[in-house]
Amino acid sequence: MNRKLIFLFVVYTICFGSIVTGTIGCSKNGITDPPTSDTTTIPITENIRPIVFAHGQYEAADAWTPFSQLFGLNGYAENSLYAFDFEEYFNGTTPNVTTMATQLQSKVNAVIQQTGTDRVDIVAHGMGAQAVQYYITKLEGTKKVAHVAFLAGIYDTTLTLEGNLAPWPIKFITVRSDGQDASQGGDLGKGSLSGATNTQVSGLDHQQMLETAEGFASIFQFFCGQAAKKTKIPATQLLRTYNIKGRVISFFDNEPVPNASVKFYYISADDAGRQSTNGWRFLTSDANGYFSLNDTVRPISKLEIAVEANGYSISHIYRQSWRENSMFERVRLLPKPALSGASKVILADLTMNSNSAVTILFSPYRAIYNGRDQVSVRKEIGDPSDKVLDIVNPATAPTPGSGAVGSNTTVMFLYDALANQTDGSGPTGSPALNQFFINSYDIYFSAAGALTFNWCIMNNQKLNFQGWRSLPSTPGSQNQGISILQYDWF
């Protein structure tokens, strides 16, 4: 066989069916798929593409904390994982998909330039799927993307390329729930996509899809050509060092907040009292809102993160400790007043005063459903009247197939809506505070006198919190702010 024939034979073998196990095969338009051999023969880090994560409505980059941790536990390097915030992307409370797609395009271009790769893989959740669809069909994304995974995707069926919802040469996979996702409205098939590899998981709501072990395993296999070795984030009881990279942003609009003070406190197991008045750690966000923490953390302790910046209400974030390093931590502030975007619409209907507290219950990875989830609030710990309220009912947290507003309650505003120092029995009646993702409960938390402490139990996970004045009684008053109860895991 002469040299020319040998050369042609080698090219044919590589491109149309290698006889050598583990060789990367060629495919149309230059897209290559990782080998099926395990990492003992070819390290996974040599065969993966960077992943860009696109979050959904009212979310931010921290929506991808569980998936980024799982990809990391399965061999992806930190410089292969890119989650970002869609910033100021609302028209009122409606996401502007064009704005989202343009920001996605910029992120993909930056990742390609930074990593030197030709194409990236994308994972998108909820409304983030429409941003990906727009980018692919309107902004020539087919030239820069290899694989797309839609997780609980909410699609726009008009965004096609030559009539295709899953245009060549990109390969698509969808992961949907079996009807428990409120965006499906009880339709088991909604969330699948013509031309994609369509998979389904059981019994998960829209937010739980962001940490599904089964869904992650399907996506990892689709991207990498091999099974994931770890599909769950291990719980730890050990004192260990965590690497936390975070950003200060405005609630809902994700506007970056520069020069914000970020103080970390351990809080008492009996109330929400700080165990150190000076803070355990004190940081300042940079010009783009970013900060980083590399320190030893007690994993079974509860934390308060107090965040303060000019033009924003102080946030007191009460949360569980971390289970793994976090590259995309987000802490949120409410602007005062909000001049535009979703925050403007929402804050316009939010009652604040110097005698009562505003508390935001927030669970990025679990919706609250009536009949499935339990949320109880104890007001004024130590008060002999023993004021305990169950705040889940058909109005505040409907079932997913009901079609009612708030049927994917992820953020719940708890506040004295009528400013009458009296508890109501459900939503406040404000349309802005009762919609998909958002609901409310008329409840009075006293903040007028000495420090008052409360607790909230969501599905057996307890967080203590303080009742801060939602408006300061005097300029410079320290007893002020918004309490945010953040439940990351159950």
| Domain chopping of the chain, boundaries | 1-29, 31-224, 240-486
CATH topology of domain 240-486: Immunoglobulin-like (2.60.40)
**Is residue 298 within 8 Å of residue 240, measured between CB atoms?**
no
Query: Regarding predicted confidence, which is higher, 384 or 445?
Result: 445
CA Rg value for the chain: 24
Confidence of residue 473 (pLDDT cuts 50, 70, 90): low
CA distance 136 to 121: 12
Please choose, from the candidates 484, 486, 488, 487, the residue with its C-alpha nearest in 3D space to the C-alpha of residue 468: 484
Give all strands of the β-sheet with 145-151 in edge-to-edge order.
81-83, 51-54, 120-125, 145-151, 171-176, 197-200
pLDDT at 29: 37
**pLDDT of the residue at 279:** 58
| Range of weakest confidence among 84-88, 304-308, 350-354 | 350-354
Token code pair at residue 94: 């409606």
Q: How many Cβ atoms are within 10 Å of 312's Cβ, its own excluded?
A: 22
**CATH top class, domain 31-224:** alpha beta
Q: Return the SS3 of 28.
A: helix
pTM: 0.89
pLDDT digits (tens, 9 = 90+) for 101-130: 999 999 999 999 999 999 999 999 999 999
Q: Can 31-224 and 240-486 be said to share one CATH topology?
A: no
SS3 category, 3: helix
User: Dihedral sign, CA of 475, 476, 477, 483?
Assistant: positive
Omega before 169 cis (within 30°)? yes
pLDDT class of 449 with cuts at 50, 70, 90: low
CA distance 238 to 234: 12
Could you report the per-residue pLDDT of 31-77, keeping only the tens digit for each? 445 443 333 333 444 468 999 999 999 999 999 999 999 999 999 99
How far apart CA 466 and CA 258 sit, in angstroms, is 26
Position 4 scores a pLDDT of 41
Check whether 469 has a pLDDT greater than 70: yes
